[in-house]
Structure 1
């Protein structure tokens, strides 16, 4: 891993959504393309008391709005791996949705390869095909109208904000940059890169995924691999938050709040 750029810190990259009392675990959540750390605020009351919930703060949105978005996976994953390595020594778990699943995976790979770094104990990927099964939709250079139509069709909190013309002008550059990052990205896995359990979640009505594409995540680990579907489309987790979070913490051996 590279040394963190000047001025980069864990606090710059993570928003504390919920702080555990003497946390026995940190769950780091990676948002989707165009998404932001606030997407995970709805998880607050579901997180056990001894778990600290952190959400990744991508540049170019919310309180990092005026920073340039990152358009290359390598740059984003390197910075986040360094930020994760700087966290105190509580065990980690990663959850990533859509683009965030690939980002979480790439960060986990870098931590696994870095001498002395502590990687996650489990990786949860959501709403994303496994390596080699992703297909570009060519939206990075689409018109603003086409981008908005695509986001609205998938739903998600970003789509609601895009109904406001002023917010649209602020949000679309980050959305476009994220799509550019996705379209440039290709995971290279000559052999399983991880030794941790990988759990793949998806909506059973997600037009971008099928069982075969989700099962492609099995190639990244030498450990346990499990898939589970939930009712819904690409943003199934907005309506299935409670059962999703409960399942996640069950896999981690932690009882979720109710």
Structure 2
């Protein structure tokens, strides 16, 4: 199989090419994030893995596109493009924070569309039955900025939004829309995924406990694994964690390849 057969779209952006990928990993960004959230991680993967990122509307080069406030619609749009890829391209899906839930809902739609998902990786997010009760998306910009500071590895990097109204005007609408998508999402029960799931979580994430991450095992009919790391909500952005995160994914992808060859 050749990488040029994997067509990028407005929703799917290539982060790492491969001339003959054994697996294509598609990464869903966290709320307020973009494909660049995975640029460093993507380069950690060796030969045999191509990496794409999902670009939500309303940010970066899609700043002029209307943000989507419904989480399942984000999943539907991305899944539509994934289902247009050749079926012989083995597909794995990764998502962090909001992106984990979008990734799960996209995986449901990909499987319903008759395509196999080799593995689903969900990071920094409780299992889908968890319902967010906060309504930060209905509050003032100050509340949004405070929440971003609370979750950031470097709160000082977020404070610029207080000092630069022009920047806040560009950034916060997409953030608010993403928080609305998360806070209004309600899981619709259905059959568990055929894909195995690996949940990744940090030991100091204020949004997700290890126990909550463990509940993802109920959403797969096959294998489940739980991987823990040091750090806060954005543990996977810490340089010391990137190699370990990529190793967890690489091992699972290798197992998927091995399973297909048996």
> Counterpart of 2:120?
123
Q: 2 CA distance for matches of 1:207 and 1:146?
A: 16
Residues 161/83 of structure 1: CA separation in 2 closer, same or farther (3 Å cut): farther
Give 1:140's match in structure 2, choosing from 118, 137, 140: 137
For the 8 Å contact 1:59–1:69, the answer to whether it is kept is: yes
Q: 2 CA distance for matches of 1:158 and 1:195?
A: 39
Q: How does 1:41-56 map to 2 (within 5 A)?
A: 41-56=39-54
Consecutive unaligned residues of structure 2, counting only runs of 5 or more, are 1-6, 256-262
> Counterpart of 2:172?
172
Give 2:152's match in structure 1, choosing from 151, 155, 170: 155
For the 8 Å contact 2:131–2:185, the answer to whether it is kept is: no
Residue 136 of structure 1, CA deviation: 2.9
Q: 2 CA distance for matches of 1:180 and 1:38?
A: 22
For the 8 Å contact 1:26–1:53, the answer to whether it is kept is: yes
Structure 1 segments (4+ residues) deviating >6 Å: none
> Counterpart of 1:187?
187
Q: Which moved more, 1:148-157 or 1:239-248?
A: 148-157
Q: 2 CA distance for matches of 1:159 and 1:167?
A: 15
Q: 2 CA distance for matches of 1:170 and 1:148?
A: 13
Q: 1 CA distance for matches of 2:83 and 2:210?
A: 33
Residue 160 of structure 1, CA deviation: 2.9
> Counterpart of 1:31?
29
Residue 234 of structure 1, CA deviation: 0.5
Aligned-residue Cα RMSD (Å) equals 1.9
Residue 15 of structure 1, CA deviation: 1.3
Residue 190 of structure 1, CA deviation: 4.1
What TM-score do the two structures reach when normalised by structure 2?
0.87
Q: 2 CA distance for matches of 1:66 and 1:162?
A: 25
Q: 2 CA distance for matches of 1:185 and 1:200?
A: 20
What is the SS of the residue equivalent to 1:90?
Answer: coil
> Counterpart of 1:81?
79
For the 8 Å contact 1:39–1:157, the answer to whether it is kept is: no
What is the SS of the residue equivalent to 1:253?
Answer: helix
> Counterpart of 2:200?
201
Q: 2 CA distance for matches of 1:46 and 1:68?
A: 32
For the 8 Å contact 2:72–2:102, the answer to whether it is kept is: no
Q: 1 CA distance for matches of 2:71 and 2:42?
A: 28
For the 8 Å contact 2:32–2:178, the answer to whether it is kept is: yes
Residue 70 of structure 1, CA deviation: 0.4
- Alignment deviations for residues 70-95 of structure 1 (CA, whole Å, 9 cap, x no partner): 01123211111110011233101000
Q: 1 CA distance for matches of 2:108 and 2:156?
A: 31
Consecutive unaligned residues of structure 1, counting only runs of 5 or more, are 1-8
For the 8 Å contact 2:12–2:78, the answer to whether it is kept is: no
Q: 1 CA distance for matches of 2:229 and 2:237?
A: 11
> Counterpart of 2:258?
none
Q: 2 CA distance for matches of 1:86 and 1:137?
A: 36
Q: How does 1:89-128 map to 2 (within 5 A)?
A: 89-114=88-113, 117-128=114-125
Aligned pair 1:242/2:243, yes or no? yes
